[in-house]
Amino acid sequence: MSVLWAALAIVFIICLLNLVLTVAVIRRLREHTELINRGGGHPPGQEEITLPAGARVGEFSAVTGDDRTVTRDDLRPGMLVAFFSPRCPTCEEQKPAFIRYASGLPGGRDQVIAVLLGSPEELGGLREELGGIAQIVIEGDVDGAMAAAFGLRGYPAFCLMGQDGVLQVTGFKVDVLPDSVAL
């Protein structure tokens, strides 16, 4: 009989240990989910995903999908510049809000630039989806000309331009952008 009690005690201890480990894993997964939802997983304390509002964008030259060259001098007040990657779950979550916001901007797609980060093969669907509302610039990664000029440290990133290439508003969620844009 004592062997049976010993076996039951061992099973009980193993189940209790399993329960404690499961709770720890669930807690850690919640922390990771929270980090991802706060902006593509940038480190805590690093709230700026691009240069901060008030900073001037660096010099750059990029070519849009329409074979138009874009430089810092082409960034007009009220213009929206967004950075997306197809490998980013937060980008996918923010895309519908971005499409709604960009579609409502006066000036149409001439007032919006979407910088897509990744290989041309993986960007096909994203390019099709955003091409009707934005000028598309494709860059390989965060070391591309526009990403470097904007100080991109993660994605998605949304930048509303002010005067003379100065960032008016920046953030990793569309809801940081003002309801209406004065041009």
Mean pLDDT of the residues in the chain: 86
Segment 113-118 mean pLDDT: 92
Distance CA 81, CA 154 (A): 14
What residues does 71 pair with on adjacent strands? 61
pLDDT of 42 over the 60 cut: no
CATH 3.40.30.10 is right for the domain spanning 61-176 = yes
- Dihedral over Cα of 112, 118, 121, 125: its sign: negative
Instruction: Give the distance between the most distant pair of CA atoms in the chain.
Output: 86
**pLDDT tens sequence across 122-150:** 888 888 999 899 999 999 876 789 999 99
pLDDT of 59 over the 80 cut: yes
- Report the pLDDT value the prediction gives residue 149, as an integer from 0 to 100: 94
**pLDDT tens sequence across 149-182:** 999 988 899 999 999 899 999 998 998 898 865 4
- Report the pLDDT value the prediction gives residue 77, as an integer from 0 to 100: 93
Distance CA 118, CA 83 (A): 11
User: 162-173 burial string, b = 16+ CB within 10 Å, else e?
Assistant: beebebbbbbbb
pLDDT of 44 over the 50 cut: no
pLDDT band, very low/low/confident/very high, at 47 (cuts 50, 70, 90):
low
pLDDT of 45 over the 70 cut: no
- Report the pLDDT value the prediction gives residue 133, as an integer from 0 to 100: 93
pLDDT of 33 over the 90 cut: no
**pLDDT tens sequence across 5-27:** 888 889 999 998 898 889 888 88
Rg over CA atoms, the chain: 23
